[in-house]
Chain A
Amino acid sequence: MKLRFGYVLIVVVTIVAFVVAGRNYKATTNAPGTVTIRISHFTIDPHFRSFLDKAGAEYEKRNPGVRIKQLDIPRQVYLQWQRTQIIGEMAPEIMQFAYFNPGVEDMVMHRFAVLDPWVEKPNPYDHREETKTLPWRDTFRDGLNSRDAYSSKLRAYFGIPLIMGGYRFFYNQDMREEKIGGDHPWTFHEFSSLGEQLTGTDIGGAQVMPMASSDYSSYTFFKMLFASMTQSMLFKLDRNYDLKLSGRDTSMGFLEGRWDYHTEEVQAGFRLMRDGAGLMNPGFGQLRKDNGVAEFAQGRALSLGGAHIDISYLKQLADFEIGESGFPVPDQSDPVYGKYVLGPVSELQGSSTLTLGVLRSPLQEQAVDFLQFLTGTDMMALLLKETGWRVAVKDADLGLNLRAGYPDSLYDIFNSRGNILAFGQNRHLLFQRDGGAEMLADKLDEESPSEQRVWLRAQAATLRQTLRQQEAAILARWVLARKQNSSGGEDKTLAEFLRVNNRQETEYRKLNRFMDKHSD
Chain B
Amino acid sequence: MKHLFAVILSFLMSPLSFQGGEESNAIDAWELMAGFSSGEALRVLEGRPASPEQQLAMATALLGKYPQTPHNVDAAERILLVLLNENVESEYRAAAFYLLGRIAHIFREESLAEAGHYYRQLRQAYPDDQLADSAAVKLALITMTELSPDLSRKKIREELEALAVPMHRSARSDFHYSLAEFYMERGDLRAALERLIKVRELGINRGINKADILIQIGRIADEVGQEDVARLAYEDFMREFPSDTRKYVVQDQIRMMDAEVEP
Contact = CB atoms under 8 A, between A and B. Distances in A.
Interface string A479-512: 1101100001011001110110111011101101
B168 A106 contact: no
Nearest to B206: A496
B187 to A, nearest CB: 11
Contacts of B204: 495, 499
Interface stretch (A22-30, A330-338, A340-348): A340-348
A464 B168 contact: no
Interface string B80-113: 0000000000011001001100100011010000
B181 interface: yes
Interface in A337-364: 342-344, 346, 348-350, 360
A510 B144 CA distance: 9
A145 B177 contact: no
A475 B95 contact: yes
Contact of A106 (B66, B102, B106, B248): B66
A472 B145 contact: no
Nearest to B244: A350
A374 B247 CA distance: 31
Given A405-B248, A498-B134, A145 B173 contact: no
Given A467-B106, A503-B174, A243 B138 contact: no
Given A468-B63, A506-B181, A114 B33 contact: no
Interface string A236-259: 001111111000000000000000
B216 A114 contact: no
A69 interface: no
A109 interface: yes
B220 interface: yes
A36 B8 CA distance: 53
B173 A499 contact: yes
Contacts of B141: 505-506, 509
Interface in B17-31: 27, 30-31
A199 interface: no
Contacts of B5: none
B185 A513 contact: yes
Nearest to B208: A145
Nearest to A405: B248
A104 to B, nearest CB: 15
Contacts of B250: 243
B171 interface: yes
Contact of A472 (B33, B131, B134): B33
A344 B57 CA distance: 54
Interface stretch (B34-42, B43-51, B116-124, B154-162): B34-42
Contacts of B6: none
Contacts of B95: 475, 478-479
Contacts of A469: 36, 64, 66
A488 B171 CA distance: 16
B197 interface: no
Contacts of B60: 471-472, 475-476
Contacts of A342: 252
B174 to A, nearest CB: 4
A145 B107 CA distance: 29
Contacts of A517: 149
A110 interface: yes
Contact of B36 (A109, A475, A495): A109
Contact of A346 (B41, B181, B245): B245
Interface in A444-483: 464-465, 467-469, 471-473, 475-480, 482-483
Nearest to A507: B181
B79 interface: no
B249 interface: yes
B215 A404 contact: no
A403 to B, nearest CB: 8
A141 interface: yes
Nearest to B189: A241
Given A499-B170, A509-B145, A490 B248 contact: no
Nearest to B256: A342
B36 to A, nearest CB: 5
Given A241-B220, A346-B245, A472-B63, A495 B130 contact: yes
A476 B252 contact: no
- The binding surface of chain B is classed by DSSP as helix
Nearest to A348: B245
B212 interface: yes
B148 to A, nearest CB: 11
Contacts of B106: 464, 467-468, 471, 505
Given A350-B245, A509-B145, A513-B185, A472 B207 contact: no
Contacts of B32: 476
B33 A476 contact: yes
Nearest to B246: A243
B64 A472 contact: yes
A415 B85 CA distance: 54
B134 A502 contact: yes
Contact of B212 (A242, A478, A507): A242
Interface string B199-225: 000001001100010011001100100
Contacts of B169: 490
A343 B251 CA distance: 11
B33 to A, nearest CB: 4
Nearest to B204: A499
B64 A110 contact: no
A498 B133 CA distance: 9
Contact of A407 (B30, B243, B245): B245
A135 interface: no
A239 B184 contact: yes
A407 B68 CA distance: 38
A406 interface: yes
B53 interface: yes
Given A106-B66, A472-B64, A512-B145, 11 more contacts: A240-B184, A243-B246, A243-B250, A469-B64, A473-B33, A473-B36, A475-B98, A478-B130, A494-B130, A495-B171, A502-B175
Minimum-distance CB pairs A-B, first 9: A472-B64, A476-B33, A495-B170, A502-B174, A404-B248, A476-B34, A350-B245, A241-B219, A475-B60
Interface of B: 27, 30-39, 41, 53, 56-57, 60-61, 63-64, 66, 68, 91-92, 95, 98-99, 102, 106-107, 109, 128, 130-131, 133-134, 137-138, 141, 144-145, 149, 168-171, 173-175, 177-178, 181-182, 184-185, 204, 207-208, 212, 215-216, 219-220, 223, 243-250, 252
6 contacts: A242-B216, A243-B250, A476-B30, A476-B34, A490-B168, A509-B145
